[in-house]
Structure 1
Amino acid sequence: MAAMILGGSDDTLRGIGLRVLSGVFFVGMVSSVKLASPSVPLGQIVFFRSAFALLPLVVFLLWRQEFPAGLRTERPFGHLARSMLGGIAMFTSFAAITRLSVAEAVLLSYLTPIILSLLAVRLLGERLTPARAAGLVLGISGVAIFVAPDLLAEIGRDAAALDLRRLSGIGLSLLTALLTAGALVQIRKLAATESAGAIAFWFAVATSLGGLATWPLGWVWPTPEAAVFLVLAGLTGGFGHIAMTLSFKYAEASAMAPFEYLTLVWTILLDWLVFRSPPGASFLLAVPFLLGASAITFAAGARLQFRRKRR
């Protein structure tokens, strides 16, 4: 009955359910990172997030009979480039989470598909369509609205009102979106010859090593509470990736796209109920611009893929 109401098959509903579940896991990961960050260094958080994500990932690969045979690769430098971009993005995104509310950091992450579409024009030879250009304009407008209070404070020389920590968080989020888009371009190239499991596994290994490399900079012995959050960050991140991977097995990306924005709803509720941080006016004003930009860009990409399939 639910399939008839939503106009899809049972497989499509299963895919949508898995995509929504992956969003819930993602919110769990982000909240665990934020709760651990006051007492645990950034590099140590990255290590635990990546190392403990390997546990569910290896079990998943064993279930799919892709471990260890499916991890062989003929493109180690491609994995290295993807891991460097994604690894730096993980550091900058976690740093942004400590400076912004969870919902603000997630909202700015919706710039990634817009930047990805522009990189695809430059690096993959795709065409800059009017829809992609419109998405870019909306995205830039949304960011401008988002930072408007701090920019107006600077123009008015109101130093007391200028929130440098928030501005640095916005800057880190924008950098994260750029790096993530670059990593996704590299994943597109790798996907032609590499399995999704191999790409995820080697990324987790590389970011674990990257986090471990920060040990000499000063790690701490976490409190029991912080240790729980560190482990949860890894497990929820790993399970979230698995749920997202499985969702594409059952449903097309276009069917799941509207439900991806539920993640923003979960983060707003999380900020409100857990961190006692209700959304501000600039956030609420920026939401339709950034979500609209992301939706337009996604729709343009979906139409392009549909035309390619018909040829």
Structure 2
Amino acid sequence: MQSLWMLVASFLFSIMGVCVKLASVDYSTAEIVAYRGAIGMLMIAMLVRFQGGTLKTDMPRHHLVRGGVGVISLWLWFYALGKLPLAMAVTLNYMSPIWIAAILLIGAWWGKQRSITWQPVAAILMGFAGVVLLLRPSIHTDQVMGGMLALLSGMLAAWAYMQVRQMGLLGEPEYRVVFYFSLTCAVAGLLGALIGKSVYAAAGDVTWHHLDSKGIMLLLAIGVTAASAQMAMTRAYRLGNTLVTANLQYVGIVFSSVWDLLIWKVSLAWLSWVGIAVILCSGLIATFYNAKTNRKSIPGDAISSE
């Protein structure tokens, strides 16, 4: 039953996606990333303050690399959310298990540690087939760039997943990983906005906007839902069945599809739904393969790029 916390996490992540998409109309990606990181950082700091623990770390280099990869992934996904239907962006970002299977497959082949099995090959081929089906209806529109960026976001999220797993094996607690990732987001977003301001000032573009009541609510919701979802996801992995928990994340695609219909009145073409189904199946295969090849996985991996 503890795995059902992943349903809570998926729902909260879908709410975050809605708020990011709405906020992207009035705020730059840099601003959204900065506020998401700052709010998440404050929430984790308060949690540590009241429940105990320390933010002191012996792995600054690991956090720097993980934070850098994670913030680029997050940046790309937030940008893609403003360009794509919510369900499409979420599906492409949720391809991380497929990329992880590819990484494990390449590592096994390179190190000659085990024979190559059919599961990762099938997952990878199905995943790419699903991407083609999902993006095909919009191949002649401005959604292509958003689709490619969401796909790249999923690839980088897979890299971040492997990094956090390594840090966990070395004894770094999840809350500390989430805190320093949030800190990286806040700093990167602020720097991005400042650099953008200096670059585009001559053109009269604004990269840091004043906050109104609507903006405050959206940005606050992004930070709170992102941090809360990561906590719920961590609880699901720690106390629930790892495979069940990992597979329940795909319910987020359903939530996102509902928001698309209710808020933007957007319904994907049937070929796109076939692509989503293919990607979902390939993700399930990849998840089982990843678990099989990594029996010593950490149950508390809060690795989502969100």
Task: Give the corresponding residue for 1:103.
Answer: 87
Contact 1:57 1:242 (8 Å CA) reproduced? no
How far apart are 1:269 and its partner, in Å? 0.5
How far apart are 1:276 and its partner, in Å? 1.3
Gaps of 5+ in 1: 1-12, 152-161
State the distance in 2 between where 1:114 and 1:56 align.
31
State the distance in 2 between where 1:249 and 1:112 align.
20
Task: Give the corresponding residue for 1:252.
Answer: 241
1:191 is paired with a residue whose SS is: helix
Contact 1:40 1:222 (8 Å CA) reproduced? no
Which of 41, 44, 64 is the matching residue for 1:80? Answer: 64
Task: Give the corresponding residue for 1:159.
Answer: none
Contact 1:96 1:169 (8 Å CA) reproduced? yes
Which of 157, 167, 180 is the matching residue for 1:202? Answer: 180
How far apart are 1:307 and its partner, in Å? 9.5
State the distance in 2 between where 1:130 and 1:279 align.
31
State the distance in 2 between where 1:63 and 1:135 align.
43
How far apart are 1:248 and its partner, in Å? 1.9
Contact 1:85 1:182 (8 Å CA) reproduced? yes
State the distance in 2 between where 1:90 and 1:303 align.
28
Q: What's the TM-score, normalizing by structure 1? A: 0.85
Which of 274, 285, 289 is the matching residue for 2:274? Answer: 285
> Percent sequence identity over matched residues?
24
State the distance in 2 between where 1:180 and 1:266 align.
21
The 1:247–1:114 alpha-carbon spacing in structure 2 relative to 1, beyond 3 Å, is: same
- Asked if residue 42 in structure 1 is aligned to residue 29 in structure 2, the reply is yes
For residues 254-276 of structure 1, what are the alpha-carbon distances to aligned partners after superposition, in whole Å with 9 as ceiling and x for unaligned?
13234222111111110100121
Task: Give the corresponding residue for 2:168.
Answer: 191
Contact 1:20 1:262 (8 Å CA) reproduced? yes
Contact 1:39 1:222 (8 Å CA) reproduced? no
The 1:307–1:99 alpha-carbon spacing in structure 2 relative to 1, beyond 3 Å, is: closer
For residues 24-49 of structure 1, what are the alpha-carbon distances to aligned partners after superposition, in whole Å with 9 as ceiling and x for unaligned?
11111111111111011110010111
The 1:266–1:149 alpha-carbon spacing in structure 2 relative to 1, beyond 3 Å, is: closer
State the distance in 2 between where 1:115 and 1:306 align.
18
Q: What's the TM-score, normalizing by structure 2? A: 0.86
**Greater CA deviation, 102-111 or 51-60?**
51-60
Which of 190, 197, 203 is the matching residue for 1:212? Answer: 190
State the distance in 1 between where 2:107 and 2:179 align.
25
The 1:21–1:65 alpha-carbon spacing in structure 2 relative to 1, beyond 3 Å, is: same
Which of 250, 258, 261 is the matching residue for 1:261? Answer: 250
Task: Give the corresponding residue for 2:155.
Answer: 178
Contact 1:109 1:173 (8 Å CA) reproduced? yes
Task: Give the corresponding residue for 1:234.
Answer: 223
The 1:293–1:47 alpha-carbon spacing in structure 2 relative to 1, beyond 3 Å, is: same
State the distance in 2 between where 1:87 and 1:23 align.
20
Contact 1:115 1:181 (8 Å CA) reproduced? yes
How far apart are 1:287 and its partner, in Å? 1.7
Task: Give the corresponding residue for 2:210.
Answer: 221
State the distance in 1 between where 2:295 and 2:180 align.
31
Letter matched to residue 97 of structure 1: L
Letter matched to residue 151 of structure 2: L
The 1:150–1:25 alpha-carbon spacing in structure 2 relative to 1, beyond 3 Å, is: closer
Contact 2:101 2:124 (8 Å CA) reproduced? no
1:11-160 equivalent positions in 2, closer than 5 A: 13=1, 15-66=2-53, 69=54, 71-122=55-106, 127=114, 128-151=116-139
How far apart are 1:195 and its partner, in Å? 1.1
How far apart are 1:122 and its partner, in Å? 3.9
Contact 2:3 2:241 (8 Å CA) reproduced? no
The 1:31–1:294 alpha-carbon spacing in structure 2 relative to 1, beyond 3 Å, is: same
Contact 1:119 1:185 (8 Å CA) reproduced? no
State the distance in 2 between where 1:189 and 1:91 align.
23
State the distance in 1 between where 2:22 and 2:231 align.
23
State the distance in 2 between where 1:134 and 1:121 align.
11
The 1:121–1:75 alpha-carbon spacing in structure 2 relative to 1, beyond 3 Å, is: farther
How far apart are 1:306 and its partner, in Å? 4.9
Letter matched to residue 110 of structure 1: Y
Alpha-carbon RMSD? 1.9
Count of matched residue positions in the alignment of Structure 1 and Structure 2: 281
Contact 1:147 1:282 (8 Å CA) reproduced? no
How far apart are 1:21 and its partner, in Å? 0.7
